[in-house]
A and B are shown apart, each in its own frame.
Chain A
């Protein structure tokens, strides 16, 4: 079946280090991907997106990489801060306006 899933359920990093969160997707026809951040008790917050005609996109302290060959995308956070602690979801968007979310990775930033 179709799915968007994450390799690591929990990632613990030291403050100031870089973080890498990974995501695998199974539908090679997917053409748009989004990373969301969800803090405890809140709804998901958009971080960055990428279309399938790109393999890299950068934002402020964040970079998303897309490898269509192995159907994998990753979120890189530079100089991770305590405020980055949250659950991170990748999501696949399709023409039908449905987002398919992965299970999520908990990022824990140690001071």
Chain B
């Protein structure tokens, strides 16, 4: 029973490039959450999605960031025209249908480094 799978584990981009982070939830989970973690800080909520729907994107920056969770395939967090301040660990979590944000199952994260 595979857990939440994120790839790539490490992603290096130059300023102005695009970053695509992928997340496959646990089997049977239809809720996906994205969090960002800066060094020596806690995780900050970004967005909550269900299949084909964005439920809460209140933590997403207004520009350059977008997220999707299509009917088929992984959830994608997309960052356009990356800047150095985007460097962080991005974690995805999933939960089963009918459960809220508690008891999330987290992936191992994608470490984004912007040069």
| A residues lining the B interface (CB < 8 Å) | 4, 32, 34, 41-46, 49, 89, 91, 93-104
Residues from chain B with Cβ under 8 Å of A102 in the complex: 42
B100 beta carbon closer than 8 Å to chain A: yes
Which of B31, B41, B55, B93 has a CB less than 8 Å from the CB of A104? B41
Cα separation A97 to B93 with both chains bound (whole Å): 12
B contacts with A, residue count (CB < 8 A): 27
Q: List 18 A-B contacts (CB under 8 A).
A: A34-B103, A43-B91, A43-B93, A43-B106, A43-B108, A43-B109, A44-B91, A44-B106, A49-B103, A97-B100, A97-B101, A98-B45, A98-B48, A98-B56, A99-B104, A101-B42, A104-B40, A104-B42
B interface residue numbers (CB < 8 A to A): 4, 31, 33, 35, 40-45, 48, 55-56, 58-59, 91, 93, 100-109
User: Which residues of chain A have C-beta atoms less than 8 A from B42's C-beta?
Assistant: 4, 89, 91, 101-104
